[in-house]
Structure 1
Amino acid sequence: MFRDRKDAGEKLGAELAKLQLHEPVVLALPLGGVPVAVEVARALNAPLDLLIVCKVGAPGNPEVAVAALVDGEPQDVVLNREIIETYALDDAALAALIRAERPELERRRLVYRGNRKPLSAAGKTMVVVDDGAATGMTIKVAIRALKRRSPREIVVAIPVSPPDAVADLAREADRVVCLSQPGQFRALSYHFLRFPRVSDEEVTAGLTEAASRHVIRYGGENPPAPAPAPT
Structure 2
Amino acid sequence: MGNMFRDRADAGRRLADALLDYQGRDDLVVLALPRGGVPVAFEVARALHAKLDVLIVRKLGAPGDEELAMGAIATGGALHLERSVLRQLGVSDAQLADVIAREKAELARRELAYRGESPPVPVEGKTVIVVDDGIATGASMQAALEALRSRHPARIVVAVPVSPAGAQTAFEGIADAFVSVLQPAWFAGISQFYMKFGQTTDEEVHACLAAARGSEHESPPDSGG
Query: TM-score when scaled to structure 2?
Result: 0.79
1:25-63 CA distances to partner (integer Å, 9 max, x unpaired)? 111011110110000000111111001113456788877
Identify the match of residue 40 of structure 1 among 33, 41, 44.
Answer: 44
Residue 2 of structure 1 is aligned with which of 2, 5, 8?
5
Larger Rg: 1
- Counterpart in 1 of 2:151? 149
In structure 2, what is the equivalent of residue 18 of structure 1? 21
Q: Provide the C-alpha distance between the structure 1 equivalents of 2:216 and 2:77, rounded to a whole number of angstroms.
A: 27
Aligned partner letter, 2:191: S
SS in 1 for 2:147: helix
Partner of 1:224: none
Instruction: Tell me which residue corresponds to 1:163.
Output: 165
1:47–1:214 contact (8 Å) kept in structure 2: no
Matched residues in 2 for 1:186 and 1:81: separation?
A: 18
Say which SS state the counterpart of residue 18 (structure 1) adopts. Answer: helix
**Alignment-derived partner of residue 124 in structure 2:** 122
Q: CA RMSD in A?
A: 2.9
Q: Relative to structure 1, is the Cα distance of residues 162 and 109 closer, same or farther in structure 2, using a 3 angstrom cutoff?
A: same
TM-score normalised by L of structure 1: 0.78
Gaps of 5+ in 2: 218-225
Whole-Å Cα distance in 1 between the matches of residues 200 and 67 of structure 2?
Answer: 21
Aligned-pair CA distance for 1:66: 6.9
Report the count of equivalent residues.
Answer: 211
Contact kept in structure 2, 1:52 and 1:105, CA below 8 Å: yes
The letter for the 1-side match of 2:47 is A
> How far apart, in 2, do the equivalents of 1:202 and 1:160 lie?
21
Q: Provide the C-alpha distance between the structure 1 equivalents of 2:52 and 2:118, rounded to a whole number of angstroms.
A: 11
Q: Which runs of 5+ in 1 are unaligned?
A: 216-231
Q: Distance in 2 between matches of 1:136 and 1:59?
A: 19
Tell me what 1:176 maps to.
178
Letter in 1 for 2:21: K
Deviates more, 1:110-119 or 1:138-147: 110-119
Q: 1:115 to 1:130 in 2, by over 3 A?
A: same
1:108 to partner: Cα distance: 1.2
> Displacement, 1:100?
5.2
- What are the residue-to-residue correspondences of 1:128-147 with 2, within 5 Å? 128-147=130-149
Correspondence for 2:33 = 29
Contact preservation (8 Å) 2:78, 2:144: no
